A = this chain, B = another copy of it.
C-alpha cells in the first residue's frame, strides 16, 4: 500500500487533463484560422484528440509540481510528449509495422485516412512537438526551451524510442534474454516516460541529487508501465483495452510474461513500484504526492 493514498489523484488528474485537452484542442493543427492543407490537420487531430490515458502529460505536470516549476512551460511539455507518443502510435499501427486496425476503440489513422496521410500526419506531429516547445511569446525561457528540445529529441530518436522500436521489429519470433527485453523497453517506452518526468522537472529548478532521484523514479515507472502492459495484453480483452488484446502472443513477440510468467511479472511490477516510491522519497522534494499516486495508478491499472 502506498503511503500517499490520501492524495486525490482523480481530482488532480481531472484538473490537469482539462488544461491539457484544452491546450491540445488549441495547438494541434486547429481548423481556424488557417487549416493545415489537404486534410492533414484532420488526420493529426484524429490521432491526438479524444483518446488516450495521457499518462505522459500527467507525469510532466506532476514532475513540474514537484519542483514548483513554470506551469505554462509544463503545459507545452505535456502536449509535446503526447504528440511524440501519438505520432509513434500512428506509425507503429501502419501495415508495414504492427498492421493494427483498432486503437483507443477507434479505427487507426491509416484505416481512416489512408497510409500516405497517416505517414505525413505522424511526421507533422513530431515536428509540431518541437514547435510547441519553442514559443516566442515570452512564456518559456529560451535556455529552457533549448534544454527541453534536446531532451525530447534524445528520448524520441535512435538512442530512444525509435531505437527501441527497431529492436522490437527485429525481435519478432526470436527469443530475447531478459537483458535484451529490458533494453528494448528502456528505449521503446521507457525513454519517453522518463523524459516526461525529467522535462517536467526541467520546467523548474531542482538540486542535482533530486534530479537523479527523479531520473530513477522515471526509469522504474517506465519499466513498470511496460511490464503491466504485457500483463494486460494476456489478461484483459480488446473492449477493455480499446486496442487489440493478445496481439503480442499472436505476433510471437517476446514479453515479460512470455519470459518470466504471469505471477513473476506481477511481482516484478510491484517491486518496480517500490523502487519508484523509494526514489521519490530520496529526492527530498516537497510536492511528490501526484508523482507517487501516478506510480500507483500506472502499476495497478486494468486498462
Residues of A whose CB lies within 8 Å of any CB of B are: 29, 34, 36-41, 44, 87-88, 91, 94, 96-97, 114-117, 119-120, 122-124, 126-131, 133-136, 142-143, 145-147, 149-150, 152-154, 156-160, 162-167, 169-170, 183, 187
Contact = CB atoms under 8 A, between A and B. Distances in A.
Given A36-B158, A143-B143, A117 B169 contact: yes
Contacts of A160: 127
Given A39-B170, A158-B124, A163-B124, A119 B143 contact: no
Nearest to A97: B116
Contact of A133 (B38, B40, B149): B149
12 contacts: A37-B158, A37-B187, A38-B169, A40-B158, A41-B158, A44-B158, A91-B123, A96-B115, A96-B119, A116-B169, A130-B150, A142-B145
Given A115-B96, A142-B147, A157-B128, A40 B134 contact: no
A40 B153 contact: no
Contacts of A123: 87-88, 91, 122-123, 126, 156, 162
A182 to B, nearest CB: 13
Contacts of A154: 127, 131
How would you classify the secondary structure of chain A's contact residues: helix, strand, loop or mixed? Answer: helix
Contacts of A167: 37-38
A119 B90 CA distance: 11
A142 B133 CA distance: 13
Contacts of A147: 134, 136, 142
Contacts of A129: 153
Nearest to A135: B150
A233 B160 CA distance: 39
Given A94-B119, A116-B97, A187-B37, A130 B128 contact: no
Given A37-B166, A116-B169, A119-B91, A130 B152 contact: yes
Contacts of A159: 34, 36
Contacts of A170: 37-39
Contact of A166 (B39, B91, B149, B162): B39
Given A115-B96, A136-B150, A146-B146, A166 B120 contact: yes
Contacts of A39: 166, 170
A129 B38 CA distance: 26
Contacts of A149: 130, 133-134, 145-146, 149
A114 B123 CA distance: 19
Given A96-B115, A147-B142, A149-B149, A124 B40 contact: no
Contacts of A127: 126, 153-154, 156-158, 160, 162
A142 B143 CA distance: 5
> Top 4 closest A-B pairs, CB basis?
A127-B157, A96-B115, A134-B150, A145-B146
